[in-house]
């Protein structure tokens, strides 16, 4: 897989992020689940449909999609990460309507016109060549088939993503900002770029709607563990282990200010994107 166009992302999700996300799948699913459900509602899934789950990760969305298209429906989850797919396959034992494929959805020859809908929860912002990737996904849709995904808006609008690092800016140097448009969590923050990509890939009726919702990984301890292991803060701590105690104290205090009866909840800002394959 290392020779693939997405070789850098493939290595990252197999060697770095993948093992961490696999170990943290329960709190991460808890945090992101409501946003995935919002896309499922926008897709208006029906019993008997066949769904493609792009960037399915540890399989929580794939299983939820399968529930939504029961009876008679099926779901194929696609991801590039071996550690995450290992978790997904374990979780889906005894579910013949669910299958998983380790592949790069940007280039893999998916079954032409084989799906009624393509879904993704934060799995489409990492393509090296987004227009090519979405053209490939459109070919996998039957005529009239639907596309639906959720992606992050700008970092400044997303304390759920940025608060941990912001709380330690007096302790650690700020991370290098990514190049505009580079693959990564905020690659689709610009809705005009998203619309342009979908247009160039041949989709029709694109709708890009803002969605704001408080989300969380659980109680204070669970939220702290996610903050310290997922994202840029985890990488910064690996480089500066001597700062761990001070960082933990600062992040815990920042998260505690947002703790309530349902755990730590922080604002998230996303785009809910839908489009159609005109055929």
β 50-54/115-121 pair status = parallel
**Residue 192, beta-bridge partner list:** none
Taking 70 as the threshold, does the pLDDT of residue 2 lie above it?
no
- Tally of CA atoms within 13 A in the half-sphere of 49 that contains its CB: 24
95 within some domain: yes
Per-residue pLDDT reduced to its tens digit, 115-156: 999 999 999 999 999 999 999 999 999 999 999 999 999 999
Per mean pLDDT, which range of 3-17, 113-127, 190-204, 263-277 is the poorest? 3-17
How far apart are alpha carbons 208 and 192 in whole angstroms? 9
119 within some domain: yes
Cβ pair 185, 152 in contact under 8 A: yes
Give the chain as a DSSP string.
Answer: -TTSTTHHHHHIIIIIHHHHHHHTHHHHHHHHHHHHHHHHHHHT--TT-EEEEET-TTSHHHHHHHHHTTTT-EEEEEES-HHHHHHHHHHTTT-TTEEEEES-TTTS-PPTT-EEEEEEES-STT-SSHHHHHHHHHHTEEEEEEEEEEEE--GGG-HHHHHHHHTTTTTSPPPPPPPTT-SSTTTT--HHHHHHHHHHTT-EEEEEEEEEEEEEEESHHHHHHHHHHSSHHHHHHHH-GGGHHHHHHHHHHHHHTTEETTEEEEEEEEEEEEEE---
247 within some domain: no
Q: What is the CATH number of the domain that holds 65?
A: 3.40.50.150
239 within some domain: no
Top-confidence residue, 121 or 235: 121
Domain that holds residue 30: 7-156+176-215+269-276
Cβ pair 52, 115 in contact under 8 A: yes
The pLDDT, as a whole number, for residue 252 is 97
Taking 60 as the threshold, does the pLDDT of residue 265 lie above it?
yes
The pLDDT, as a whole number, for residue 4 is 54
The pLDDT, as a whole number, for residue 3 is 47
129 within some domain: yes
11 within some domain: yes
- Total domain count for the chain? 1
pLDDT band at 1 (very low <50, low <70, confident <90, very high): very low
In 10 A of CB 178, how many CB atoms? 13
Question: Per-residue pLDDT averaged across 105-124, rounded?
Answer: 97
Per-residue pLDDT reduced to its tens digit, 18-54: 788 888 999 999 999 999 999 999 999 999 999 999 9
25 within some domain: yes
131 within some domain: yes
How far apart are alpha carbons 156 and 43 in whole angstroms? 28
What percentage of the chain carries pLDDT values higher than 90? 82
């Amino acid at each position: 897989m290392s020779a693939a166009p997405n070789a850098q992302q493939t290595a990252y999700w197999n060697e770095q992020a993948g093992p961490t996300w696999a170990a943290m799948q329960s709190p991460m699913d808890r945090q992101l689940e409501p946003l995935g459900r919002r896309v499922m509602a926008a897709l208006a899934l029906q019993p008997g449909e066949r769904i493609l789950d792009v960037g399915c990760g540890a399989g929580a969305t794939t299983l939820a999609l399968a529930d939504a298209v029961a009876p008679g429906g099926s779901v194929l989850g696609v991801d590039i990460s071996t550690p995450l797919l290992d978790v997904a396959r374990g979780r889906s034992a005894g579910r013949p309507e669910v299958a998983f494929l380790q592949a790069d959805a940007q280039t893999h020859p998916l079954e032409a016109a084989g799906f009624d809908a393509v879904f993704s929860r934060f799995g489409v912002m990492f393509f090296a060549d987004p227009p090519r990737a979405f053209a490939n996904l459109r070919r996998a849709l039957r005529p009239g088939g639907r596309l639906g995904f959720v992606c992050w808006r700008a970092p400044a609008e997303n304390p759920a993503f940025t608060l941990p690092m912001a709380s330690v800016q007096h302790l650690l140097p700020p991370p290098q900002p990514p190049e505009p448009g580079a693959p990564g969590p905020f690659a689709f923050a610009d809705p005009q770029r998203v619309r342009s990509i979908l247009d160039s890939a041949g989709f029709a009726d694109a709708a890009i709607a803002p969605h704001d919702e408080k989300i969380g990984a659980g109680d204070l301890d669970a939220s702290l563990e996610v903050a310290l292991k997922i994202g840029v803060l985890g990488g910064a701590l690996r480089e500066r282990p001597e700062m761990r105690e001070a960082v933990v104290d600062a992040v815990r205090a920042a998260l505690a200010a947002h703790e309530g009866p349902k755990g730590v909840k922080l604002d998230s800002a996303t785009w809910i994107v839908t489009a159609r394959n005109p055929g």
